Amino acid sequence: MPRDAAYLTLEQLIEARRIGHELCFLCGADLDTENRSDEHVFPKWLQRRHNLANQKLTLLNGSSIKYRQMKIPCCRTCNGIWLSKVENRVKSASKSPTRWRELADDDLFRWASKIMYGNIYREAFLAMDQADPAAGMIVDEEFVHELRTVHLFLQGVRAPIEFQHFRQGSIFRAELVDPDPDHPDEHFWFYDNPFRLLLAMRTGPVGAIVALQDNGVIAEIFQPVNDTLANQKLTHMQFMELAAQLAYIRVSLNRTAKYVMVQGAESIQVIPLPLAGMSGLPLFEEAMLSSYATLLSHMTGWPLEEVMPGDDQVISFFEPGKQIYPLAGLMNPTSGLFRARSDTGS
């Protein structure tokens, strides 16, 4: 937890979840000319690094918006103090694979949470159809409220929140090879699924795939993936393929994490309920190759007929001997499902 975080009660943090143009998205404070600022969902340093300002982000309804327009209301204290500290640590760490590995998990979880929650918060004030005001917003406020645990855990930037003997999510960090000079756009890549709480991003030489609120179960089960990533650089396409596999695994998780939160004398304690619960369902659904192929096509932009040229195989950008196929563990049978492209580079 931040050493200089303010002492706030659990009730105060819950009450901070207010939604509106004139409210701070983080602490819920009423905004006026004295304390108002705009929080860039994709920070300005990231936009400058990758020349993103006038590039466009695809929204949930298929429309697009410039990255520089992805701003949400925020008070000056939350923006300039609490969030700024996290941004500065992520900015510095993202310049070097070594520092990226050393970045605290809590910082990466909170940074990913701010981007995911911020995207949805912004879309709650964007019209579904500019020509039809009656169509409502892209996202209704109810869905923003469904992300209440994401918002509550994000409060850890400004309040002492402690997770009792568990991880709040799973992180997979990667070092990436320099992109092809003919593809400068490969320096940056972003994907998120707010419905299943997964985010993946590449910035320069590093990338991360973050699954929120799985209590670390994906990272625990697929620990060999992180072991491999510690010693193997990925190409841009390999990173996207791995992100697609882990995104599918997150969607296949048959559990919803639940928590008990206890007000302590100096901090708020978060205690997870058993993830298995009373359910008799397997922890993960068995993976369907065709469904994975559709997701891989969506995330990479490759045509589906090239991603899945046959009924029983999906292309892979990993070379023989250097494969990272966590998804194979959810498939039956598991042999021969991933066919390496003959022109894949390392």
Q: Which helix or strand (DSSP H or E) is residue 218 part of?
A: helix 217-221
Top-confidence residue, 340 or 108: 108
210/194 Cα distance (integer angstroms): 12
Predicted TM-score (pTM) of this structure = 0.93
pLDDT at 346: 38
**Tens of pLDDT, residues 94-107:** 999 999 999 999 99
Residue closest to 19 by CA, chosen among 80, 69, 73: 73
317/334 Cα distance (integer angstroms): 17
Strand partners, 268: 161, 263
Among 64-73, 97-106, 244-253, 325-334, the range scoring the smallest mean pLDDT is: 325-334
pLDDT at 5: 55
311/257 Cα distance (integer angstroms): 35
Among 9-23, 128-142, 330-344, the range scoring the smallest mean pLDDT is: 330-344
pLDDT at 6: 62
Name the pLDDT band for 341 (thresholds 50, 70, 90).
low
Instruction: Assess whether pLDDT exceeds 70 at residue 335.
Output: no
C-alpha separations of 112 from 4, 11, 97, 207 in Å: 21, 24, 18, 12
Instruction: Assess whether pLDDT exceeds 80 at residue 36.
Output: yes
With beta carbons less than 8 A apart as the criterion, state whether 136 and 128 touch. Answer: yes
Among 58-72, 124-138, 234-248, the range scoring the smallest mean pLDDT is: 124-138
Burial of 41 (0-12, 13-18, 19+ CB in 10 A): buried
- Residue 279 per-residue DSSP state: -
53/39 Cα distance (integer angstroms): 14
Instruction: Assess whether pLDDT exceeds 70 at residue 1.
Output: no
**Tens of pLDDT, residues 129-152:** 877 888 899 999 999 999 999 999
pLDDT at 148: 96
